[in-house]
Amino acid sequence: MRLPIAIFILSILLCLSSWVDPPLALLLGLIIASTVGHPFLSFNARSTNLLLKTSIVGLGFGMNIFKAMEAGKEGFFLTCFSISITLILGFLIGMLLGVHKVVSYLISSGTAICGGSAIAAIGPIIKAKEAEMSVALGVVFILNSIALLIFPFIGEYLSLTQEQFGIWAAIAIHDTSSVVGAAAKFGEEALRLATIIKLERALWIIPLSFFSALIFKVEGTRIKIPYFIFLYVLAMCIGTFFPELSAIYEWIVLISKKGLTLTLFLIGAGLSLGTLKATGTKPLLQGVILWVLVSVFALIVVVIK
């Protein structure tokens, strides 16, 4: 047991160094999961969730609230349209493939908004079983991992600008962690735009939760609100209106980026082979088709606009 712990701690230290970027951290986590295993797996989900939210809030200190509002305004209509189209396409693809209604809806919701966070929020509302949520989460996790690793290369190959890549990543990648990780790999401006648009997108969990309760005819369910987004906005306000503390903000942003890299390592290290096996061919195929369609659509829009 000592060897897995030692390797795990060494991997964490590597992720905190300047040698490992977010995609490499995820890959390192996947290697750990498939070889020595995660020695603290029971604590992984909660610690990953907390570290991700804390890191995102920290990134807010390096952003200007007025520029953020402009970026959010620019991505608002694309966000509205893409969420609607994704949910409709997800329903149709799931129906054609014969995917279970609940699993299909969870995959569509995760693809439309913010991956695992949306599935975790919507699942209890529609009374999804643990196995159904595991399948949906498995599909989203697989595609997140692929997106984080290949999107920066695609962006460079297509010579996308920082703005184009930031918007594309925010629309086409599921989880916030992978969106921010891919954008951070591509550049600072891409990171700024992707984070703002993705968090704006995450707020759609609230109306989608009410919509889900309505169409699944569920009453008395509790709606989860992503409160950390408001802390992110507060951090942007502090950074904007108190510029004299910019030296401190730079350190906070640097630490937050390291925290994000560590988050992606923990996500990779927490991969369960059982979850991957449980995804099934049809749900995975639905997720892949839907993701490819959304990715291509978003790419075309950002390139021609």
Predicted confidence (pLDDT) per residue in 82-133, tens digit: 888 999 999 999 999 999 999 999 999 999 988 888 888 898 888 888 778 8
> How confident is the model at residue 278, as a pLDDT?
65
> How confident is the model at residue 161, as a pLDDT?
95
The answer, yes or no, to whether residue 22 has pLDDT greater than 90, is no
- Taking a C-beta distance cutoff of 8 angstroms, is the pair 102, 128 a contact? yes
Provide the b/e sequence for 173-210 (b: ≥16 CB within 10 Å): bbbbbbbbbbbbbbbeebbbbbbbbbbbbbbbbeebbe
Question: How does residue 41 score in pLDDT terms, banded at 50, 70 and 90?
Answer: confident
Classify residue 217 as left (phi > 0), alpha (psi -120 to 50) or beta: left
> How confident is the model at residue 151, as a pLDDT?
96
Predicted confidence (pLDDT) per residue in 169-184, tens digit: 999 998 888 999 999 9
| Residue ranges of E strands in 1-100 | none
| First and final C-alpha spacing in the chain | 55
Give the helix/strand (H/E) hosting 33: helix 22-34
Give the helix/strand (H/E) hosting 299: helix 281-304
Predicted confidence (pLDDT) per residue in 50-92, tens digit: 998 999 999 999 988 888 787 767 667 778 888 889 999 999 9
pTM of the shown model: 0.85
* DSSP symbol at 224: P
